[in-house]
Amino acid sequence: MNAHEPVKEPVVTSYAEAPSHQISAGGVTYAYRELGPQGGIPVIFFVHLAATLDNWDPRIIDPIAKNRHVITFDNQGVGASTGQVPDSIEAMADDAYTFIKALGFEKIDIFSFSLGGMVAQALVVKHPDLVRKLVLTGTGPKGRQGHGQGGRDHLLRHTSGHPYPVRPEGIPVLQPRHRGQASR
């Protein structure tokens, strides 16, 4: 090894071993962890109500971090992040956007759970060019037809460029194609 070559740190792929960091933006100091190989489009995890960095299960994060840059964070006013907890889903989405931009990302993927899914949906509606892929788990839309922004139908129109057929109860009709089946 040449004395002038930088020493490469090993890539941390274990959530239990990932160090916590802080970044300040918009008057808030956000606590976060990142792991996995750097570069490419990161996967940012949006957590459930009142959860902190320590609420993520390594059995979910570690397999993803083997091949992807993973970032988790404490929402404003929760855990080790400063500030006041926002009073709306949209304000939480604004905070998430501030955090993501402070890290310097122009494109992200999102893995979300529960309240985090609602925040992620609001973020996609406000900033559709920011999010490439969105995984929603254990969550639902903010509202339904006649309430708020129109719920899932509204989200699908904003993310796909065209609406999927929607049942009267607001559930999109998504039918997987099977081998040999022509697309419709």
Query: What are the extents of the domains in the chain?
Result: 15-141
Tokens standing for residue 145:
């037809």
Check residue 147 and give its pLDDT.
Answer: 40
The helix-helix angle for 115-126 and 89-102 (nearest 10°) equals 70
Quickly count: other Cβ atoms within 10 Å of residue 157's Cβ.
Answer: 15
Check residue 140 and give its pLDDT.
Answer: 84
35 neighbors 101 (Cβ within 8 angstroms) = no
Check residue 118 and give its pLDDT.
Answer: 95
Whole-structure pTM over 0.85, yes or no? no
- Identify the bridge partners of residue 44 per DSSP, sorted by sequence position: 71, 110
Check residue 89 and give its pLDDT.
Answer: 94
CATH of the structural domain 15-141, one choice from 3.40.50.300, 3.90.1530.30, 3.40.50.1820, 3.40.640.10: 3.40.50.1820
Quickly count: other Cβ atoms within 10 Å of residue 16's Cβ.
Answer: 9
Check residue 149 and give its pLDDT.
Answer: 46
Closest CA to 96 of 32, 152, 18: 32
Check residue 160 and give its pLDDT.
Answer: 44
What is the mean pLDDT for each group of 10 consecutive residues in the chain (184 residues)?
62 96 97 96 96 95 96 96 94 97 97 95 95 92 52 48 43 43 44
